[in-house]
């Protein structure tokens, strides 16, 4: 029973092993949030945005129905952002120009830790390669991904074959 789990983890590692780092300047950029409405609670340093929420920070873009930003003790750079949707989406451009796309019913992005957790029908995709599971965590700066299943559905990994350049095909 453990063999499929090992294969799934190995596949997930292969999926992201060749990816370059996220744009290194993203977390140094300001966060912009647009929505139809917002509610600020100064006592808890919490802002709730609702209806067609769009968050951008450098190349990062999050789309959600509802987004909650928590700034612990008012410290800039340590924000926790929780996005909710059916699904909420996360997009980011990597240093090599490749696009990373994720979606789930709940996203938790810890800005200072460069950590993304996607829960409930989670999917992370790049260049046709894809990982699906109930929960996917991705440590962006370290390029470490963990996908977990629940009792109803297993983790699924789709790996695309590498394409050969025309000169490689001709030489064979």
pTM for this predicted structure: 0.77
Residue 107, preceding peptide bond in cis (omega within 30° of 0): no
Q: How many CB atoms lie within 10 A of CB 1?
A: 4
Report the C-alpha gap between 133 and 135 in whole angstroms: 5
How is 50-92 classified by DSSP, letter by letter?
A: EEEEEEEETTEEEEEEEEEEE-GGG-TT--EEEEEEEEEEEEE
pLDDT digits (tens, 9 = 90+) for 58-108: 999 999 999 999 988 766 778 899 999 999 999 988 888 889 899 999 999
**Phi–psi pair at 52, nearest 5 degrees:** 50, 60
What is the pLDDT, as a whole number, of residue 172?
Answer: 55
Largest CA distance in the chain: 68
Report the C-alpha gap between 102 and 94 in whole angstroms: 13
């Amino acid at each position: 029973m453990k063999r499929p789990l090992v294969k799934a983890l190995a596949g997930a590692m292969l999926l992201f092993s060749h990816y370059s780092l996220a744009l290194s300047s993203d977390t140094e950029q300001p966060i912009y949030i647009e929505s139809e409405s917002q509610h600020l609670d100064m006592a808890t340093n919490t802002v709730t945005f609702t209806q067609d929420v769009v968050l951008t920070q450098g190349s990062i873009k999050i789309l959600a129905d509802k987004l909650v930003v928590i700034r612990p003790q008012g410290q800039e750079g340590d924000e926790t952002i929780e996005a909710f949707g059916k699904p909420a989406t996360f997009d980011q451009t990597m240093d090599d120009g490749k696009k990373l796309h994720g979606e789930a019913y709940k996203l938790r992005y810890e800005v200072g830790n460069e950590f993304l957790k996607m829960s409930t029908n989670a999917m992370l995709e790049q260049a046709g390669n894809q990982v699906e599971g109930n929960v996917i965590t991705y440590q962006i700066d370290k390029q470490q991904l963990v996908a977990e299943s629940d009792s109803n559905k297993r983790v699924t990994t789709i790996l695309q074959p590498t394409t050969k350049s025309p000169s490689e095909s001709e030489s064979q």
